[in-house]
Chain A
Amino acid sequence: MSRTAVIVFAIVVVLFAVSWVAKAVVLSDTSDSGTLDAFLVTVAAFLTLAIYSFLYKDNPYYKFAEHLFVGVSAAFWMCQGFWTTIVGNLLPRLSEGMANWFMQPYQPGGYDLGFLNLSYTVLYWIPVILGLLLLMRLSPKGGWLSRWPLALIIGTTAGLNFVRYLRSDFIVQVSSTFVPLLGQEPHQWQGIGAFFSNFSLDASGQFVALLANWVIFIGVFCGLVYFFFSKEHTGLFGRASRVGIWVLMITFGASFGYTVMGRISLLVGRLTFLFEDWLGLIT
């Protein structure tokens, strides 16, 4: 450790110690566990500032927060998964004894396939075995067995996605492009004055709605042309694809601009924590 680093470290320690004491004094009026609460708020503030220090450059405080975050979050997810899925959903179906031991209502059941009567208990052991096969990954020799559960997951999801996206992102979206372009009901031409005074999509009719429909149609068409891989982008085709990429770029720019606000809100949230909960500058 260099000399500056030691000095900085000392200053940081002193500052946060002072913050803890000051906060504890303030909180002791209202709460019994003021000292502990003050400590926790100070820790949270320290970690917040440690992450922000990364904006200046990488430093030991950021590294500390980063490594702590990784460990704690992994454990958090493990505990959550254990209690909700294993104890909450799996064990009560595996066996009655286990359900009783974990004080969960036993969930028996089964299905008569006609030629074969299956019970839940048997069927839920299969994923358990497959899950254990996944752990075979850790053994140098049995690693290939871990592909079985993987195959089940990937196959099932692929099958699901195949039909689901064909329906939701393809058939439904295609039929959404079937919009009036020529001005049949409910979009009736109401004159140029109405057009300019009501320059928005929700207008109860208007040329604008029609114009919007035309733009959407042309935009979708050109966008799809841009994503066409098997033809060189030359001539008329090339021109359409250029329009397509323009529309895409306009959209991306607009989305970017639209997002700024959300990101600023996040910062507002953190600064509010620092100024209000920690420093008490605002109420």
Chain B
Amino acid sequence: MRHLLKLVIVVVLLAWVSSPAQTDPPAEVDSVEVAEVTPPGPVTSLSVTDKDNDHGHATVLSWEASVDDSTGLANVISYEIFRWVPFAMDHVDSLRGQLSGLRAEIAAAEDVTDEMETRLDLLEAAFDAAIDNLPQAHGQYPQNGEWRSVGVVASGVTAYGNTGTKEPTSADYIPDYADLYYRVDAVTADPVVRTASEVYGPVQCYGQWFNTDRSPVLVAVLAFGFFTLLFVTLAKKGTDLYVRPLAGIEAVDDAIGRATEMGRPILYVLGLGSAADVATIASFTILGRVAKRVAEYQTALIVPTYEPIVMTVAQEVVKSSYLDAGRPDDFKEDTVFFVTQSQFAYVAAVNGIMLRELPATCIYMGKFFAESLILAETGALAGSIQIAGTDEIAQIPFFIVACDYTLIGEELYAASAYLGREPILLGSLKAQDYAKALVVAFSVIGLIFANLEWTWFVDLFHVAN
């Protein structure tokens, strides 16, 4: 017992030395009282590293549990993590508070005085200087600073991530390239009774230039890029590339012919996607093809659009198709027009167009949402032949049910390659197919391995974040 008491005193003293400014130094505790709750053994082998694969401003701590964590005295209930923070940080905090207060004041003020602006400029400069000074202030360890708690974890846990923000304007800012020092206390039910670990430091956090967690994605990117370039090169060399026919695509030409015979217009709906959506990009290519045919047959084309940018692009596409067909003069600006960027207002307008213009053919290609069925049923009411294509899975069933031909999912993207019959586009379609074959192959291999419980293969496909 006397031996233990001695040990306790030593440990407590040690803790006191290593934490000169802790708010409730355990050293003040009477050693008689300590005997009631014996301080636990300290955390050992504390190590702190910069957090990997991030933008910096974060560290990761790991340690070995105290001997009294669920074993021995079993009195550790939590670990408290401390970081040594220079007083310069308080200065930063105070400046930050003043700055946001002043900004709020200026924003609320009826008119801003020169005095306010001068104050703001000064304050901003002081704040920047204080931030720049932080690494140097950290270098002064252990002078001009104190230990501050950054977090608590339950007993049994032996790791902690001290993640700060990168914005100096945030209170959680942790500077990069500054010497950080850490310590972990093993805490008992009586928070006063605790044992500090040895101090670990200095350690600096910084941002990485490559996220190794994402390596599987990089491999996939490279493989995909390689396949695409390979097949495009092959296609350019004139290798014959077979692609199976798609009913929906072949129907497009017939439908244009039908419209010409009936002397009724063709309605082309680009959907609700933005110009950057892949479905819309594919749809532009199909629109180009349709517009060219329309120009050749001199049929009318109506393209109501939902998005202003889509309208801009569609105008360009249709215009150059007319140019290609050698009939630039037949192009009318109002072929492509903007309706409104509100889903159902757009639908209401397109419905109206269908029932008034009675198009011979309606083509819906792009992104569609709930309106798909409203459009397709109204089109059926107007007696049109309807061809649809979308990558919105939820809407495919409605198009399948209500339209004459439907391009399912990626068939829409493939359509642009079909229509153009350009070797380059066909080549990339091949690449896509081979990637799919790879998926199947990986699935089969992965399945077998998963069932044999060889997890390493499955782990290859694990992308942490």
Contact = CB atoms under 8 A, between A and B. Distances in A.
A and B touch in the complex (CB under 8 A): yes
A74 B439 contact: no
Interface in A239-283: 248-249, 251-253, 255-256, 259
A180 B450 contact: yes
Interface string B421-465: 000000001101100110110110011011101000010011100
A11 to B, nearest CB: 23
Given A58-B356, A70-B348, A221 B220 contact: no
Nearest to A185: B453
Contacts of B281: 154
Point out which of B107, B241, B281 has the most chain A C-beta atoms below 10 A from its C-beta: B107
B157 interface: no
B209 interface: no
A227 B442 contact: no
B371 interface: no
B99 to A, nearest CB: 10
B220 A171 contact: yes
Nearest to B411: A227
Chain B interface: which size bin? 35 or more
B119 to A, nearest CB: 13
A220 B453 CA distance: 22
Contacts of B409: 227
Interface string A138-151: 00000100110010
A6 interface: no
B10 interface: no
Interface in A15-73: 51, 54, 57-58, 62-63, 65-66, 69-71, 73
A220 B440 CA distance: 9
Interface in B314-333: 316
Tell me whether chain B's interface is mostly helix, strand or loop, or mixed: helix
A154 B276 contact: yes
B439 A224 contact: yes
A171 B450 contact: no
A188 interface: no
A106 B106 contact: yes
B436 A228 contact: yes
A100 B447 contact: no
B79 to A, nearest CB: 33
Interface stretch (A120-128, A157-165, A201-209): A157-165
A248 B342 CA distance: 31
Contact of A157 (B276, B408, B433, B458): B276
B242 A232 contact: yes
A58 B443 contact: no
B451 A232 contact: no
A150 B275 contact: yes
A227 to B, nearest CB: 6
Contacts of A227: 408-411, 436
Contacts of B109: 100
B443 A220 contact: yes
B309 interface: yes
Contacts of B160: none
B443 A217 contact: yes
B397 A255 contact: yes
Contacts of B277: 157
B410 to A, nearest CB: 6
Contacts of A252: 396-397, 400-401
A230 interface: yes
Nearest to A249: B400
22 contacts: A54-B351, A57-B355, A62-B352, A69-B345, A73-B341, A73-B345, A100-B106, A108-B124, A154-B275, A156-B276, A162-B221, A166-B217, A166-B221, A172-B461, A174-B443, A174-B446, A174-B461, A177-B443, A229-B244, A232-B244, A252-B396, A256-B397
Across the A-B interface, the 4 shortest Cβ-Cβ residue pairs? A157-B276, A73-B342, A252-B397, A175-B461
Interface of B: 103-104, 106-109, 112, 124, 169, 214, 216-217, 220-221, 224, 241-244, 274-278, 281, 309, 312-313, 316, 339-342, 344-345, 348-349, 351-352, 355-356, 394, 396-398, 400-401, 408-411, 414, 429-430, 432-433, 436-437, 439-440, 442-443, 446-447, 449-451, 453, 458, 461-463
Given A66-B345, A100-B107, A259-B398, 13 more contacts: A73-B342, A76-B342, A154-B275, A154-B276, A163-B217, A175-B458, A177-B446, A178-B449, A181-B451, A221-B440, A224-B436, A231-B244, A259-B397
